[in-house]
A and B are shown apart, each in its own frame.
Chain A
Amino acid sequence: MTEPRALPIAARAEDRPFDPAAELYELQREEGLPRVTVPSPILGDFEAVMITRYEDARSVLRDDRLRMGFVFDPEAPRTMLNQPGNLLNYNGDEHSRLRRMLTGAFSVKRVRALRPMIEEIVSARLDALSEAGPGADLVRVFSTPIPTMVICELLGVPYADRADFQHRAQVGLDVNTTREVQIRNLAEMDEYMAGLVADHRKQPGDNVLGGVVRDFGHELTDDELVGIGNMLLIAGHETTASMLSASTALLLQHPDQLAVVRDEPSKIDDAVEELLRYCAPATIMPRQAAAPMSVRGQRIEEGERVVVSILAANRDPDATEHDLDALDVSRQPRPHVTFGHGVHQCLGQQLARMELRVALPALFDRFPTLKPAVPWEEIDYRTTALVFGVRELPVTW
């Protein structure tokens, strides 16, 4: 047997941050299920079955035998990922029980009711961008604060606390800080979230976290509630911020498609689906086989790690005769696995869609001459991070 090929964890093409690495397309064409070595700063190098085809991705992600890669370990140090209450750390019945406590808050109708709140937040950020003036960093002034503010509403963070809350959320995402800073920041976030939970225990607020405390507080420990709050922050924040920044960078390079997003409200839902398919901010989803299973008749052994390349699956030419490497916001939406598939499919996906549908047209409408303030090649995309995005996007108009 040949040595497995090494593949960077996010595997995007060099100099073409929106495209999968060429190796992924090669793997996609192979009939056999490839094993690759994935270099990971967190887990160390590990070997994994690499899933790159669309139908394979759907098939493994909906298979109960495939478990989440991380499982809560009470013995290990507590981190943003390693804590109770985080849906990403649960499987099977335990996962269903916890998820059902949260799904009501993220239904299509409940999210529609949040639209005015989202519009207000977006409008305030557009004012902030205008005040900051040409040269402002879109990531800092617009893309990141919008999902953070929305999460503040869902958690019931009082206005007076929001600047600090946003600062901690931003530090939590900053890969350029030291380990000490991260540990201290995390402790502060946990402490703050515990305070919020205690307040909701006394008097449940009229928001998502308050609702969970009111309806299920008797079944959940404070620790779990803190974990749920942190999960809503992590999951709802970085990916949506990335989508806002990446979509903006992408659309600025396709002015005709930007015009569709800006001027044709009836097409915005389809346009957002295409942007989600194309950007795939959660580039990969790591899993582990809890029991032997098979894909297209090929065996995956118990204990084997499985990495699904969401980016490659969304571009699988076998899924259609359309050119999926082209961005086309006007096309009939192509199916994608950007939010995953199966029982773990993103809890907040309708909320994410709503934020994008409100924020992107509003941005281009308010700043019709928006363009990057630096040459295209200087824009720093986070191609190697677990969540794809743009580190900074200075804009002018």
Chain B
Amino acid sequence: MNVEVDQSRCVAAGHCLASVPEVFDQRDDDGVVVLLDETPPEQQHERVREAAVRCPSAAIAVRARDSSS
């Protein structure tokens, strides 16, 4: 799995950090998303996908990578 974030779209709702703190963080000054892990391990995939769906401003993109999606 390959994760991308678009900081210009982010509205800092915080769902991603609340769901997958291993992969997402928020910038201190404005709460904007920071990506900690572009290729998270498989056990986090489901929560990452959920975070992408819940993101109110569609700032998280998830792409399949190689055989492991």
Contacts and interface: CB of A to CB of B under 8 A. Distances in A.
Interface in A74-132: 99-101, 103-110
Interface in B11-69: 11-14, 17-18, 26-32, 53-54, 56-58
Contacts of A109: 17, 26, 28
A349 interface: yes
Nearest to A99: B11
A104 B56 contact: no
A340 interface: yes
Contacts of A335: 53-54
A317 B60 CA distance: 27
Interface of A is mostly: helix
A203 interface: no
Given A108-B18, A109-B26, A340-B56, A345 B31 contact: no
Given A99-B11, A345-B13, A350-B18, A107 B31 contact: yes
Interface residues of A, number: 24
A103 B54 contact: no
Nearest to A215: B29
Contacts of B13: 339, 345-346, 349
A267 interface: no
Contact of B56 (A100, A106, A343, A350): A343
Nearest to B8: A96
A103 B57 contact: no
Contacts of B28: 104, 107, 109
Contacts of B53: 335
A339 B31 CA distance: 17
A107 B12 contact: yes
B65 to A, nearest CB: 26
Given A103-B12, A108-B14, A345-B13, A62 B31 contact: no
A103 to B, nearest CB: 4
A106 B31 CA distance: 7
Nearest to A349: B13
Contacts of A99: 11-12
A341 B30 contact: no
Contacts of A108: 14, 17-18, 26
A339 B4 CA distance: 25
A106 B12 contact: yes
B57 A343 contact: yes
A342 B17 contact: no
Contacts of B56: 61-62, 340-343, 345
Contacts of B31: 103-107, 110
Contact of A62 (B29, B30, B57): B57
Nearest to B50: A335
A106 B26 CA distance: 10
A345 to B, nearest CB: 4
Given A99-B11, A343-B11, A350-B14, A104 B57 contact: no
Which residue, of A215, A341, A346, has the highest number of chain B Cβ atoms within 10 A? A341
A109 B16 CA distance: 12
B54 to A, nearest CB: 7
A325 B17 CA distance: 29
Contacts of A106: 12, 14, 31
A103 B11 contact: yes
Given A108-B17, A349-B13, A350-B18, A103 B30 contact: yes
Contacts of B26: 107-109
Interface in A334-370: 335, 339-343, 345-346, 349-350
Contacts of A345: 11, 13, 56-57
Contacts of B27: 104
Contacts of A340: 56
A167 B57 CA distance: 37
Interface of B: 11-14, 17-18, 26-32, 53-54, 56-58
Given A101-B30, A103-B12, 8 more contacts: A62-B57, A99-B11, A103-B11, A104-B12, A108-B14, A340-B56, A345-B11, A345-B13
5 contacts: A100-B32, A103-B12, A107-B14, A107-B17, A107-B28
